[in-house]
């Protein structure tokens, strides 16, 4: 509470802070979000780092007199008396009766867009993204990324509680983790290197050290198409764990993490959840069905003709989302046992049917947010699989040190932060859930 006592300034004031300081003179700092001039007085809404605070200017409150230079987006320190009242609905609220406004800085120009409404109305996504440093000052835009902080925080807190160690793997690498067409090439003092498309190879190496590791970091994918769910740089929340009994251990760990995250959002990010009307899912147990059974459901129940029997297209993911909701009342569904041909070289094949793998994807409201599974830990098996995939094991000598010198049964996953945020908030485009998106047409701001 002493945060706003006396003349101590703060940028984050809460209802509780005001309640504790009712009747006292305090100072807060922030931006002038809005000025509403009335006859004989004015409302000055101050935007702090966390909320908007109503302040009232009237000559009878003090000797302070209104400064005509005051305008929206001026940075100020406001001193005033905390006064409680009841709003139209009978809820207690607090405002500051202004005793003084110190101008800390004045903007050089007026804003190019209106940001002081509850949300950015009728502004195209591209304009919002072009103007990110200021469009994010809008309370709703700001809340999106505060909530996103909560997701990462939940992931981190939960995994640390489960004895995982946080790691950071290099993003400039000599070999691309999974190969394929979507790696960015980079000239590295005359040598060709790649931007990391996943921390996969390093996570696995560190399972050999810490048993359980996680990383929250950017990864890079040269996506050649402009879609509503692909970025060229996104935040991957990855974990990898050793001494597993099966890939179900990974799915259980993810379920635990998601439960923890949703609970954290509901409790500590309540303000953002309410402002954004985020639909926080109730998670009990997440249903799981096998890949081929999912294909059958798509064809038989939904009469949809898949274009590719080895993977799902976005339409099929949506149908599976509908199925999960209807059949299990779940916003999530695990699809397990993906075909070997579509999974990376480190994926463990199902010993009972090597056409398929001990792997899974997690769909959230009809969108893939995670891929994971058990990895190969046997040296000879891994070398053989690499050769089968047309790779040269010699190029992966350091990666194979794990297998060569002993690795426990292990597995892990990658969860796309922006994709999870996107569907929590019901966004149509992943860019809405990305602070500074990088896509095929955008590298600024
Ligand atoms: P998709 O099939 O949707 O293109 P993927 O199977 O290629 O995705 P993975 O390599 O399995 O992606 O990556 C793991 C997770 O990372 C995905 O489930 C998703 O949440 C996220 N992800 C992958 N690619 C992107 C991207 N380009 N932009 C944003 N998130 C992504
Ligand atoms: Mg995937």
Give 103-172 as a DSSP string. Answer: EEE--SS--SS---SSS-TT--HHHHHHTHHHHTTSHHHHHHHHHHHHHHHHHHHHHHHTT-EE----SE
Instruction: Please calculate the CA angle 69-73-76 and round it to the nearest 5 degrees.
Output: 65
Q: What is the pLDDT of residue 2?
A: 41
Which ligand 1 atom sits nearest the alpha carbon of residue 370?
A: 18
Q: From the CB of 347, is ligand 1 less than 6 Å away?
A: no
Q: What is the pLDDT of residue 10?
A: 54
Cα–Cα distance measured from residue 190 to residue 188, given in angstroms and rounded to the nearest whole number = 5
- Among 34, 16, 427, residue whose Cα is nearest residue 231: 427
| Residue from 219, 228, 234, 345 to probe ligand 1 pocket by mutation (most atoms less than 8 Å from CB) | 234
> Which of 129-150 are b and which e, b meaning 16 or more Cβ less than 10 Å from the residue's Cβ?
bebbeebbbbbbbbbbebbbeb
Which ligand 1 atom sits nearest the alpha carbon of residue 232?
A: 27
Which ligand 1 atom sits nearest the alpha carbon of residue 236?
A: 16
Q: Compute the half-sphere exposure of residue 160: CA atoms within 13 Å on the CB side of its CA.
A: 9
Q: Which ligand is in closest contact with the Cα of 414?
A: 1
Backbone angles phi, psi at 221, to 5 degrees: -135, 125
Ligand 2 centroid distance, CA of 370 (Å): 6
Q: In the beta sheet, which residues pair with residue 242?
A: 410
Output the residue whose Cα is nearest ligand 1's atom 16: 416
Q: What is the pLDDT of residue 13?
A: 73
Q: What is the mean pLDDT of each run of 10 residues along the chain (445 residues)?
A: 47 78 94 97 95 95 97 97 90 94 98 92 95 97 98 98 98 79 93 95 98 98 95 98 98 98 98 97 97 98 96 97 98 98 96 97 98 98 96 94 98 98 98 98 97
Cα–Cα distance measured from residue 243 to residue 362, given in angstroms and rounded to the nearest whole number = 22
Q: From the CB of 369, is ligand 1 less than 6 Å away?
A: yes
CB 98 within 8 A of CB 75: no
Q: From the CB of 418, is ligand 1 less than 6 Å away?
A: yes
Ligand 1 centroid distance, CA of 314 (Å): 12
Residues 6+ apart with CB under 8 A from 193: 172, 173, 174, 185, 186, 187
Output the residue whose Cα is nearest ligand 1's atom 4: 230
Q: What is the pLDDT of residue 12?
A: 62
Q: What is the pLDDT of residue 14?
A: 76
85: helix, coil or strand? Answer: strand
Q: From the CB of 33, is ligand 1 less than 6 Å away?
A: no
Q: From the CB of 235, is ligand 1 less than 6 Å away?
A: no
Q: Which two tokens stand for residue 120?
A: 């950015």
| Residue from 201, 230, 437 to probe ligand 1 pocket by mutation (most atoms less than 8 Å from CB) | 230
Ligand 1 centroid distance, CA of 48 (Å): 36
| Residue from 177, 414, 424, 440 to probe ligand 1 pocket by mutation (most atoms less than 8 Å from CB) | 414
Q: What is the pLDDT of residue 177?
A: 65
Q: From the CB of 359, is ligand 1 less than 6 Å away?
A: no
Q: From the CB of 223, is ligand 1 less than 6 Å away?
A: yes
Q: From the CB of 230, is ligand 1 less than 6 Å away?
A: yes
Ligand 2 centroid distance, CA of 413 (Å): 10
Q: From the CB of 363, is ligand 1 less than 6 Å away?
A: no
Q: Is the peptide bond before 287 cis (omega within 30 degrees of 0)?
A: no
Q: From the CB of 368, is ligand 1 less than 6 Å away?
A: yes
Which ligand 1 atom sits nearest the alpha carbon of residue 430?
A: 29
């Amino acid at each position: 509470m002493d945060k706003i006592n006396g003349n101590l300034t703060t940028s984050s004031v809460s209802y509780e802070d005001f309640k504790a300081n009712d009747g006292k003179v305090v100072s807060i700092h922030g931006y002038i979000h809005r000025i509403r001039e009335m006859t004989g007085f004015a409302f000055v809404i101050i935007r702090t780092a966390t909320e908007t605070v109503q302040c009232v200017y009237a000559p009878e409150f003090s000797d302070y007199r209104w400064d005509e230079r005051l305008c929206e987006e001026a940075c100020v320190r406001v001193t005033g008396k905390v006064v409680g009242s009841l709003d139209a609905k009978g809820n207690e609220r607090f405002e500051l009766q202004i005793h003084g406004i110190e101008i800390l800085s004045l903007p050089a120009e007026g804003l190019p867009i209106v940001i002081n409404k509850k949300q950015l109305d009728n502004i195209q996504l591209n304009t919002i993204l072009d103007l990110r440093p200021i469009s994010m000052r809008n309370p709703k835009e700001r809340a999106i990324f505060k909530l996103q902080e909560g997701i990462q925080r939940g992931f981190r807190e939960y995994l640390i509680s489960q004895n995982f160690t946080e790691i950071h793997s290099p993003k400039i690498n000599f070999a691309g983790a999974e190969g394929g067409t979507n790696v960015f090439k980079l000239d590295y003092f005359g040598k060709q290197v790649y931007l990391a498309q996943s921390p996969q190879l390093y996570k696995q190496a560190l399972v050999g050290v810490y048993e359980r590791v996680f990383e929250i970091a950017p990864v890079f994918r040269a996506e050649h198409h402009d879609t509503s769910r692909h970025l060229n740089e996104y935040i991957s929340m990855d974990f990898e764990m050793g001494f597993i009994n099966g890939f179900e251990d990974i799915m259980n760990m993810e379920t635990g993490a998601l439960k923890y995250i949703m609970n954290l959002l509901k409790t500590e990010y309540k303000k953002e959840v309410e402002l954004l009307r985020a639909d926080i899912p109730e998670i009990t147990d997440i249903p799981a069905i096998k890949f081929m059974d999912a294909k059958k459901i798509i064809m038989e129940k939904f009469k949809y003709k898949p274009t590719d029997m080895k993977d799902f297209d976005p339409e099929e993911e949506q149908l599976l989302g509908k199925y999960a909701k209807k059949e299990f009342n779940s916003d999530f569904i695990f699809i397990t046992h993906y075909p070997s041909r579509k999974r990376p070289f480190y994926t463990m094949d199902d010993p009972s049917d090597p056409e398929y793998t001990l792997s899974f994807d997690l769909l959230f409201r009809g969108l893939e947010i995670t891929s994971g599974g058990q990895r190969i830990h046997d040296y000879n098996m891994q070398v053989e699989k690499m050769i089968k995939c047309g790779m040269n094991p010699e190029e992966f000598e350091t990666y194979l040190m794990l297998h060569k010198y002993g690795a426990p049964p292990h597995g892990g996953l990658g969860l796309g932060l922006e994709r999870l945020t996107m569907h929590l908030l019901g966004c149509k485009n992943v860019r809405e859930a990305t602070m500074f998106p990088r896509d095929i047409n955008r590298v600024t701001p």
